[in-house]
Structure 1
Amino acid sequence: MPGDWLVRRAARGDSAVRLRLGRQRLVYLLGPAANAAVFGHDERFRAREAFAALEIVDGPTSVVLSDGADHARRRGLIRPAVAPRRIDGYLETMAQAADEALAEVLPGEPFDAYVLLRRAIRRSTLRVLFGGELARRADEVGEMLQPLLDLTDKLPQVLDAHRRLRTPAWRRAMTARAAVDELVNEQVRRERDRGPDEGVGEGPMLPLLVHGRDGAGSGLDDQEVRDQAVTMIAAGYETTSAAIGWIVYLLGTFPDWQVRAREEVTTVLAGGAPGPGDLDRLAVLRAIVTEALRLYPPAMISVRYAVEGFEHDGEQIRPGDLVVFSPYATHRDAQVYSGPLRFDPGRWLQQPRRAPEEYLPFGGGKHRCLGSGLAMAELTVMLSRLLAHGEYRLDRGPRAARGFAAMRPHPGVRITIPPQ
C-alpha cells in the first residue's frame, strides 16, 4: 500500500521524496514540520489543479476545488450550515437512519456492517441536506453517484485517460452526473421559489445554502449550491462510511474497548440516542473514533499544487510541483506517536488534543474539511446506536485498505450480533 511505503521512508528519516509520474512532478513531504509548512502557507498553493479529478463529481465551484477569495467566500457561506448548534439539530436524523438500517439485522445472523452503515450514512446525509423528500430516494441517488465515485477513485492519470478516450466508464459517469444534476437542481429551484422567509432556520441544510448571505450581502448562486450539495453528499457518505467500517473492525478486534464503549452508552445515554450536549459526555466513544481516524484516516494522502517555489528541509519545491502530504504516514510515525501501530484510544483520554500538524484526518490549514464536526458527530451517533443493539463479534475483517479518494475496508467488515 502506498501509505506503508511512505511510513517506511519517514522511518528512514526522509522528509522529502521526489517522484515523476508521466509529465507530473510529485514531491512527498513527510512529517509534522512538512504538514505545518503546507498548512501555514496557503499562498504557495492552489487546490484546483490538485483536486481536478474531483471536478466531475463535485463541480467547478466546489469549495474543495476553490482558491483565494472564492474559497473564502464559499467557505464562509457554508460554515453556518455545519456550525455546532446546527449539528445538534441533525443528531436525531442520524440516529433514526442508523436504527432503520439496524432494524434489518437478524440477531445471530452475520452481516456486513460496512455496507449496512454506509447505506445508513447515505440516507442520513441526504436527510440532513434536503429533508425527507429526497432522502426517500437515498438508494437511488447512491446508485446514480456510484459511476462517478468509481471513476474518481482512480489515479488522476488513469482518470484523464478515461476522459480523453471517452471510455464506457467515462460515458457512464457523464450520464450519472446528468441524472444527479437534474435531481439536485430541481431541489434548489424549489427552495429558491419558496423564498428565504420559509427556508432559513432549523431543519435541513439546503435552505441555508440557498438563502444564506454573508456580511457583504453575497450568497451562493444555483451552480454553487449544486456543487456544495453534491460535494457534501459524495464526501459525506463516502469518507464517513469508510471510517465507520474501520471503527467497527477495530472494536471487533479489541473487544475490551467495545465493552468500555457499551458501558458508556448505557451509562450516559441509558440506551437511547445522543441528543444535544451528549456527544461531549461520550469521552470513550470520542477517543475510539479519534484513534480509528488516526490509524485509518479516510484520505491516506492529500495534495496541493505549488504556484511558487520554496525550500523545505533542503528540498527545492518548484512551481508546478504536486506537493503531497500524508495523514497516514504522520499518524504512524514513531517520532510522533508512541506505539504508532497500536490501537489505543486511551492515548486520547490522556491527551485529547494534538497539534494540527500531528493529527490531520481532515487535512489542515485554510482547506481543512468543513464537515469535520459533522463527520465526528455522525460517526459517534452511528457507533452508539450499533453498540446499543448489543455486543457484536467480528466474523471477518478486511483483507486490505482500498481506495484513492477514501481508504475503505475491503471487502468489508462482517459481524454478528448474538441474540440477547
Structure 2
Amino acid sequence: MICPRACQPLYQRHANERPLMTSADIPVRVPLVTQPMGIWASLQAARHNVLSIIPDIATKQPMVSGRTGKRWHMVMDPDAIRHILLENLDDYPKSLVTKNLLRPAIGESLFIAEGAHWRWQRRVAAPVFSHRNVMNLAPIMTAAAERSCERIAAAGPRAVDMAADMVRTTFDVIADVTFSGDGMFDSDAVHRGIDAYIAEAGRISLFDIMGFPDWVPRPGRILAGGAVKEMKRVADEAVEARRNRGHAGVPDLLDLLLEGEDPETKRRMNTAELRDNLLTFIVAGHETTALTLAWSLYLCAFDQEVQGRAHAEAQTVLQGRAATGADVAKLPFIRMIADEALRLYPPAGMISRTAMANDTLCGREIRKGDTVIVPIYALHRNVQLWDDPDAFRPDRFADRKAVPRYAYLPFGDGPRICIGASFALQEAVIILATLFSRFRFTPVQGRDPDPVMIITLRPQGGVWLEAEPLGGP
C-alpha cells in the first residue's frame, strides 16, 4: 500500500549530468523484497539479515504499510520522521523488539530507558561527551591508529581483513577511554560477552516478531546468558574498584560518569546504572565506529579516484605523522568519506518504534500499538531524496547544510540523537587519515563483503584488502 502523499525530490536528477551507471559502478548493496512475505518467510529472512525484509518500494515512496502478525508502517518522509523523533517523541518510544533484544545485555541504560528515567541519565551523561572531553581523549585514538598501521605493515604483501582490524582498533580505543587501561578491567572478557550476545541473542526470534512479553524465554538469549553475566561481573568490579581507589591522569569516561550528577535533582548513578551505561558506550562506541571505518575502506578501495584524493589530503596535512584531534578540522574530504559510508551502510540500518496513541503520518491512520519503522538503509537510498542513491559520492557532503536533516540519520536525531556522535566521527577521521596517509588499499577479487544486519550492518565475510605502503608527501 503506497502513501497517498508523495515527497518532492530533494536532489533533482538531470539526464545530462552523468552517464547512466552500470552494476559495476555500484558498491555492494542489500537485495530488497519485491514480493509480499508472510510471517514465517519474514522471520527466516530477518534471522539472516534484518534489512532483507524491507520492500524495495521503500526506496521509492515516502511510506509503506503492511501487516506481519501486527500492523506496521515504514516511514521515509523527512517531515513524518521529524514528527516521530522530535515533535511527538513520547508517543513513539522504542519498540518492544528493540528493548527485548538489548535489555538483557545493557539494562535500562540510556539506549533503552524512556521518559523521566531516560532524561535524568541523559542530563548526567551529556557533559561526558563535551567537545573538550572528546578532544582530551584524541591521543588514545591516535595511538590506536598507529598500532593498526604497524599490524597492517607487518602483514606484508598478504591481504588483510580490515573489518577485523578495525574492530580491534576501535575496541582498544573504547577500552582505554572507558577504563584507562585499568588493570581491574578485563577487556577480553567484556569483548567475549558482547560477541556472544550479538551472535546468539541478537537474532530476531518469532516471539519478538509477535510481540510476546519479556518473561517468555528466548532460547538464543538463554544460550548467551553466561557470557553476559560474566561481562557484567567484570564491569561491576571495575566500577567499584575505581570508586574506592580513584584514578590519576586525564579523566576517562568512568571518571566523568562517577563525578556526574543530574543538574536538576543532584542524583548520581549507582553501580548498576554506571555499569549498564558503560557497557552501552563500549558496545556502541567500538562496533559502530569499526563498521564506519571498514565500509569507508571498502568504498575507497572500490573507487581509487576517491582514495587518491583522500591520500593527497592526508599526506598534505599530516606530513608522515599520525593524525591528531587538532587535525580533524583540516581533513574535510576524509570526513566526507565517512559521512557517505554512513549513508550507504548506516550501522543502525533500521529503528523501530511503537505508537502509544492514535496518529496520522503522511495522511495515513496510525493506530495505538502499531509498529512504526524508520528503515534508515532505505531512507538513505530513497530516489526521492538522493541523486543516484546507490552510488558512492562523498562530495554529496561538501555542503552539509544542503543535506535535509531528516533524510540523513546515521546517528538518529531529536532528543535521542546518539550522545557519542562527535566522539565517533573524530575517531573515524583520525584513523582513516592515518591509514590513507601510509597505504594504498586495493580489493581482493571475488571477496566482496556482504552487507548483513543482525543488530548492526556488518560486512559479512570481512573486508579483505591488500595494503601497499606509500612514500612520504
Normalised by the length of structure 1, the TM-score is: 0.91
The corresponding residue for 2:452 is 402
* Aligned counterpart in structure 2 of residue 212 of structure 1, from 256, 260, 280: 260
| 1:393-413, Cα deviation, whole Å (9 max, x unpaired) | 111553421122100111111
Compute the displacement of 1:208 (Å): 1.0
- The answer on 1:187 being equivalent to 2:187 is no
Question: Which one-letter code corresponds to 1:95 in the other structure?
Answer: T
- Read off the aligned partner of 1:375 and give its amino acid letter: A
Which of 87, 97, 102 is the aligned partner of 2:134?
Answer: 87
CA contact (8 A) 1:163 1:170 kept: no
2:334 to 281, 285, 288: 285
What runs of 5+ residues in structure 2 fail to find an aligned partner? 1-30, 33-50
Matched residues in 1 for 2:183 and 2:320: separation?
A: 30
Please state how far the C-alpha of 1:357 moved relative to its aligned partner. Answer: 0.6
Matched residue SS, 1:323:
strand
Change (3 A) 1:12 1:171: closer
| DSSP-derived class of the 1:370 partner | coil
Contact 1:295 1:328 in 2 (8 A): yes
Verify the 8 A CA contact 1:98 1:117 in the aligned structure 2.
Answer: no
Map 1:217-228 to 2 at 5 A: 217-228=266-277
Instruction: Give the Cα separation in 2 of the matches to 1:12 and 1:417.
Output: 38
Alignment match, 1:414: 464
Q: What is the letter of the counterpart of residue 224 of structure 2?
A: A
Quote the Cα distance in structure 1 between the aligned partners of 2:123 and 2:374. 25
Maintained 8 Å contact 1:261/1:285: yes
* Local SS of the residue matching 2:164: helix
- Distance 1:11-1:394 versus aligned 2 partners, 3 A rule: closer
Provide the rounded CA distance (Å) in 2 between the counterparts of 1:350 and 1:170. Answer: 44
2:72 pairs with 1:26:
yes
Distance 2:129 2:402 in 1: 21
CA displacement at 1:95 relative to structure 2: 2.0
Q: Residues 235 and 419 from structure 1, CA distance in 2 versus in 1: closer, same or farther, beyond 3 angstroms?
A: closer
- The Cα shift of 1:148 comes to 0.9
Partner in structure 2 of residue 127 of structure 1: 176
Residues 389 and 189 of structure 1, relative CA distance in 2, 3 Å threshold: same
Quote how far apart the aligned CAs of 1:156 are: 4.8
Find the counterpart in structure 2 of residue 56 from structure 1.
104
SS of alignment partner, residue 468 of structure 2: coil
Correspondences of 1:92-241 after superposition (within 5 Å) = 92-105=139-152, 106-133=155-182, 137-157=186-206, 164=216, 167=219, 169-194=220-245, 202-216=250-264, 217-241=266-290
Native 8 Å contact 1:7 1:332 kept in 2:
no
- Residues 156 and 85 (structure 1 numbering): CA distance in 2 closer, same or farther, change over 3 Å? farther
The corresponding residue for 1:253 is 302
The code of the aligned residue for 1:19 comes to R
Deviation of residue 8 (structure 1)? Answer: 2.6
SS in 1 for 2:267: coil
Contact residue 402 and residue 410 of structure 1 kept, 8 A: yes
Instruction: Give distance in 2, aligned partners of 1:281 and 1:352.
Output: 19
What are the superposed Cα offsets for residues 244-289 of structure 1, whole Å, 9 maximum, x if unpaired?
A: 1111100000011111111111111222233233211110001100
Opposite residue 404 of structure 1, the aligned amino acid is I
State how 1:327-338 maps to structure 2 within 5 Å.
327-338=376-387
**Structure 1 residue 20 displacement after superposition:** 2.0
Q: CA offsets, 1:73-128, max 9 Å, x none?
A: 11111111111111111211112123223322223121100011111111111111
Per the TM alignment, residue 419 of structure 1 is displaced from its structure 2 partner at its CA by 4.8
How many residues were matched structurally? 413
The amino acid across from 1:32 in the alignment is P
Q: Tell me the CA shift for residue 320 of structure 1.
A: 1.4
TM-score w.r.t. the length of structure 2 is: 0.81
Aligned equivalent of 1:325: 374
SS at match of 2:229: helix
| d(CA) in 2 for partners of 1:158, 1:265 | 49
Matches within 5 A, 1:6-45: 6=54, 8-13=56-61, 15-21=63-69, 24-39=70-85, 40-45=87-92
Distance 1:137 1:392, change over 3 A: farther
Provide structure 1 residue ranges, at least 5 long, that are not aligned to the other structure: none
SS in 1 for 2:439: coil
Paired AA for residue 81 in structure 1: V
Residues of 2 paired with 1:419 and 1:305: CA distance? 50
8 A contact 1:294–1:331 mirrored in 2 = yes
